[in-house]
Chains A and B, each alone.
Chain A
Amino acid sequence: MQERAALSPAQINGDLLHFALKTPRQFWIALGVLGAIVLAGVVSEGFIVVLGLQLLGLTNTVYWSVFIANFVFWVGISHAGVMISAILRLVYAEWRRPITRCAEVLTIFALATAGLFPLIHTGRVWRTIYWVFPYDFTRNVWPDVRSALIWDPSAIVTYLIGTILFVYSDLLPDLANARDRSAGFRRRVYAVLSLGFRGTVRQWRLQTIAGILLASLILPVFVSVHSIVSWDFSMAILPGWHSTIFAPYFVIGAIHSGVAGVVTVMVLVRRFLRLEDYIRPEHFDAVGRLQVVVAASWLFFFLMDFYFGIFSREAAEIEVWNLRLFTPPYSALLLVMIITGYLIPVPLWLFRRCRRSVRIMFWTSLAVNVALWIERYMLVITPLSYKEPFTFTWVTAYKPQPVEYIITAAAVALVLLGLLVFAKLFPIVPVWAVKEGQVLRREVRIGRVTVPAVAREKKY
């Protein structure tokens, strides 16, 4: 962290609140483009509701399609928020300061988008209500609480509420700051949202305690969410799905894609909001190091899933891996997954110069997310494509249809749109945290070298 810039509170206010208080023309262009893609997705969904699931490429065996892969992918992306924010906050990692909010907000929009996919997947959306509420008292038809499909919404809603609270408690000082620097209707809105935050000692203490408590409480929820999503699969006795490693494997994959997602957002925010003084190469360097460890763990879990999948030499398991390894298009997809998820990015991240290059970090983070989307696709589709002897030998391979592609693209646009609108209304880089970082910033002279340092509250 050698290149930390000394910034005055006024400069920080000006830079970080600028986009929230002034609207450049590019905002409307971006809003229009992303809105149009989302609209195309909404229209496609309308077709599915009216014409039915025949528009999808579902087959007799592949009844969970690309929508479920999208669901798992976006739940995975949502893990970045907690990973970056809660864990780094608890371990007092200084470099977290400018990137925590991007990560947390990405969590909210990714999770909300993920939540849409099981609904879209059902075709007739309104029928999902029958899974959650008892709908026939006379015949005693109740939702099956032992079903992983019931655990899922519970976990996701808990995580979403927890994350919103986490973001909101963190946002309060900045809302108060925006209130004090705006006028008219905008000021009234910020005044209501800031809940009377004035920056008294008591309020700061409560805000800090709330942040630490929420960070600690949300961590188990974060692990449980993707574990529960993984159990949707592993509880089924299907070759390729029924694996004990799925829970930690899904979680580490989620962290891999989530951290990469945060890097992508960091680059976009840095570039378009001109925050080069705040999101600096040192931050990419730190995230890059984290990604080396995460990517290695992900590869390890992938290899364990592979080795111990074929370990027992069960014909069905070997058949599924045969499909993944040697049958096109899955064999090509697997190759792309390994290359973009590990072989290209990790060797680059091993070099400090590459980790500090914003461009390389942007493209490698995108590559990782391509890999992780393919991984989710392979995990969902290939075991279902396994052909049971005699019964389904006539089944043709699953092929995603145009509406599935459009809705998948619309999901990406929806998350970006959410981030854009959030950044327009609220500071996307936490102003108070950056200021706090400036206050705690020190330098220590050791011999002829000046080493960057940080002040910490004494613990004893």
Chain B
Amino acid sequence: MSEVLGPVARRRAHQAEIEALLTRPRGLAGPAFGAAAGVLGLLALAAGVNLGMLALGSAEPRAKWGYTASAVAFLLQTFQGAPLLALTARLTKSLWAASLNRIAELMALGGLITAPVFVLLLFQLPDWHTRPSIWFDWPGAPQGYDAAAILMLALAGLSLVELTTRPDRRSANPKHWALLDAGAGTLGAIYALLYVYVQVLLMGDLAMSLVPGWHSAIVPASHAIQGLQAGFASVVLAAALTRRLGRVQHAMPLDAFWSASKLLLALTLLFFYLFWAEFLTYWYGRRPDEQTLLTLLMFGPYAVPFALSLLLNFAAPFALLIWNRVRRSVAGPMAAAASIVLGSLFEQIRLFVPAWSLAGPVRKELEAIPPAVFPALPDVLILIGLPAAAALLTICALRAVAPVSIWEYKSELLLKADEPYLRAEVTVLAKPS
């Protein structure tokens, strides 16, 4: 087969061949896979050991948990934000995303890593009594409610994976298909709602409550929306790598990357808009407490991660994706996605590390800005190891099921066709109600 980028007819002609390839993707087996899994496993193990040592050590200083919180937030943004692409695509009947949905949903397995570490972090929080919080001293807050929410999110992600991979693992009758249709929509909606809720809790309880005077209402909302950007970018990055390494170019047409890159461009602009809305209000308001917050989070000890976040989350992807020629490639969106994923990590560092450096008794005002907390070796291992553990789970799942959902791939081919129109050729897209 030649390098087929889009034409439906050619993909349909080679459907059987592509399906066989999807069932046994060549690059996702063999020694290369073993080596990758081994490296990821070692990194995950190192992170686990260091986490255990941190948990068994003394409670103070709590600043030592800053990088772990950043890693958890990063996983929530990237791995657990990824399934939202599949949800959005299904809701809007976007056929272009059919080849990306599987990877997007498999990344929800990252919840198996995020949930326990999140719960562990909840028990490292300082005394909650009279602390500014959305819980207002409710009994059991925040640990009980936050833990329930993150566990439900992980469970919803696992259910989504189980449900949407089922047709590729077992034969299905019309009743199964109807169940799948209704279940994927409902479960997707529940996942999205839980995702937003967990993001609010994450920002509220694991960051804002720790910093005296930080009550910026936009932060939880913008963090949730930035999760879409990082999640979609993770899918594009993972899909581009799978396409190359798994040699499934034919099943993942250029069209998917082109359309995803437009979404990424929109979300990149949204990232800047939300940042600007917060920054301008504080900067223009000129209240001393807000100026101190700006120094803490943006221009003071964490100026470097802040600048890197702005560069990698906005400036670099915007400069790349603004060009249609770049969007209409696999390498272009992949580069932009890699930039966003890395930028998301720096964004979490600049939010959570300073917050945890202030975790202590309740104070009314932030009198002095603490110095920057630089990562020690255990912090670096946790920052790399936790995403490595989530990536390991995802690639193991990619060996068990096809990297492109075969049933969605077949549906796409049924609903798409090429036909001549005057002197040109058009694509016909069917949209069932």
Closest chain B CB from A329 CB (angstroms): 25
Answer yes or no: A1 CB below 8 A from chain B CBs: yes
Q: With an 8 A cutoff between CB atoms, is A419 at the interface?
A: no
* Cα-based distance from A213 to B219 in the complex (angstroms): 32
Q: Which residues from B are CB-within-8-Å of A246?
A: 277, 281
Q: Which of B196, B273, B417, B419 has the most chain A CB within a 10 Å cutoff?
A: B273
Contact present for B415 and A455 (CB under 8 Å) = no
CB distance from A399 to the nearest CB of B (A): 30
Question: How many positions in chain B have a CB within 8 Å of any CB in the partner chain?
Answer: 51
Tell me which of B282-290, B311-319, B371-379, B387-395 binds A.
Answer: B282-290
**Docked CA distance A442–B428 (Å):** 7
**A residues near B187, Cβ cutoff 8 Å:** none
Q: Which stretch of A120-128, A152-160, A231-239, A371-379 is in the interface? A: A231-239
**A328 to B421 Cα, complex, angstroms:** 65
Determine which of B220, B254, B281 lies in contact with A308 in the assembled complex, contact meaning CB atoms within 8 Å. Answer: B220
Contact A300 B196 (CB under 8 A): yes
Q: B428 near A455 (CB under 8 angstroms)?
A: yes
Q: How far is the CB of B2 from chain A (nearest CB, A)?
A: 14
In the complex, which residues 293-319 of chain A have their Cβ closer than 8 Å to any Cβ of chain B?
A: 300-301, 304-305, 307-309, 311-313
| Interface status of B170 (Cβ within 8 A of chain A) | no
A134 contacts the other chain (CB 8 A): no
Residue of A nearest to B92 (CB): A91
A235 touching B284, Cβ below 8 Å = yes
> Residue B17 at the A interface, CB < 8 A?
no
| B425, closest chain A residue (CB) | A458
Are A458 and B281 touching (Cβ within 8 A)?
no
Q: How far does the alpha carbon of A455 sit from the alpha carbon of B219 in the complex, in Å?
A: 42
* Cβ of B94 to closest chain A Cβ, rounded Å: 9
A133 at the interface (CB under 8 A from B): no
Closest Cβ of chain A to B251, distance in Å, is: 16
In the assembled complex, the CB of B206 is this many whole angstroms from the nearest CB of chain A, namely 14
Instruction: Give chain A's interface residue range (CB within 8 Å of chain B).
Output: 35 or more
Let me know if B217 and A245 touch, CB within 8 A.
Answer: yes
B431 touches A451 (CB 8 A): yes
- Chain B residues with Cβ below 8 Å from A428 are none
Q: Once the chains bind, are B215 and A308 in contact (CB under 8 Å)? A: yes
Return the chain A residue nearest B414 by Cβ.
A446
At the interface, yes or no: A248 with Cβ under 8 Å from chain B? yes
Residues in B neighbouring A227, C-beta threshold 8 A:
273, 277
Asked if residues B217 and A242 are in contact (CB atoms below 8 Å), the reply is no
Q: Is A457 an interface residue (CB 8 A)?
A: yes
Chain B residue with Cβ nearest A285? B433
Q: B132 and A1: CB pair below 8 A?
A: no
Inter-subunit contact B255/A456 (CB<8 Å): no
A456 to B415, CA, bound (A): 13
A444 at the interface (CB under 8 A from B): yes
Q: B162 an interface residue at 8 Å Cβ cutoff?
A: no
Partner of B273, one of A223, A452, A459: A223
Would B426 and A1 count as touching, CB distance under 8 A? Answer: no
Contact with A along B61-73 (1 / 0, CB 8 A): 0000000000000
Whether A454 sits at the interface, judged by CB under 8 Å, is yes
- Asked if B431 and A312 sit within 8 Å, CB to CB, the answer is no
For residue B424, CB closer than 8 A to chain A, the reply is: yes
State which residues 385-433 of B face A: CB under 8 Å.
414-415, 417-419, 421, 424-433
B213 within 8 A of A: yes
CA–CA, A279 and B373, complex, Å: 61
Q: Complex Cα distance A243/B282, Å? A: 9
Measured between beta carbons, the chain A residues less than 8 angstroms from B217 are 243-245, 304-305, 307-309, 311
Chain B hits for A457, CB < 8 A: 424, 426-427
Contact across chains for A245 and B418 when beta carbons are under 8 A apart = no
Q: Is A391 among interface residues, defined by CB-CB distance under 8 A? A: no
- Asked if B280 is at the interface of the complex by the 8 Å CB criterion, the answer is yes
**A231 touching B281, Cβ below 8 Å:** yes
CB B162 to nearest CB in A, in angstroms, measures 26
User: Please, which residue of chain B has its CB at the minimum distance from the CB of A237?
Assistant: B285
Asked if B238 is at the interface (CB within 8 A of a chain A CB), the reply is: no
Distance (whole angstroms) from the CB of A116 to the closest CB of chain B: 27
Q: Taking the complex as formed, is A394 at the interface, i.e. its CB lies under 8 A from any CB of chain B? A: no
Q: How far is the CB of A40 from chain B (nearest CB, A)?
A: 39
Q: Please tell me if A390 contacts chain B, counting CB pairs below 8 Å.
A: no
Given A235-B284, A242-B281: A454 in contact with B428 (beta carbons within 8 A): yes
Q: Which residues of A contact B418 (CB under 8 A)?
A: 458
B residues within 8 A CB of A300? 196, 221
Which residue of A has the minimal Cβ distance to B200?
A304
Say whether B11 faces chain A, with CB atoms less than 8 Å apart. Answer: no
CB-nearest residue of chain B to A456: B427
- When the two chains form the complex, which single residue of A304, A442, A451 contacts B221, counting CB atoms closer than 8 Å? A304
Check B426–A456 contact: CB distance below 8 A: yes
- Which 8 A-B pairs rank lowest in CB-CB distance, beginning with the nearest? A308-B217, A245-B217, A247-B277, A312-B215, A453-B430, A444-B430, A244-B218, A451-B430
Could you list 5 further interchain pairs (A-B, Cβ under 8 angstroms) beyond the known A307-B204, A312-B213?
A235-B284, A244-B217, A247-B218, A452-B433, A456-B426
Identify the A interface with B (CB < 8 A): 1-2, 94, 220, 223, 227, 231, 234-235, 237, 242-248, 300-301, 304-305, 307-309, 311-313, 442, 444, 446, 449, 451-460
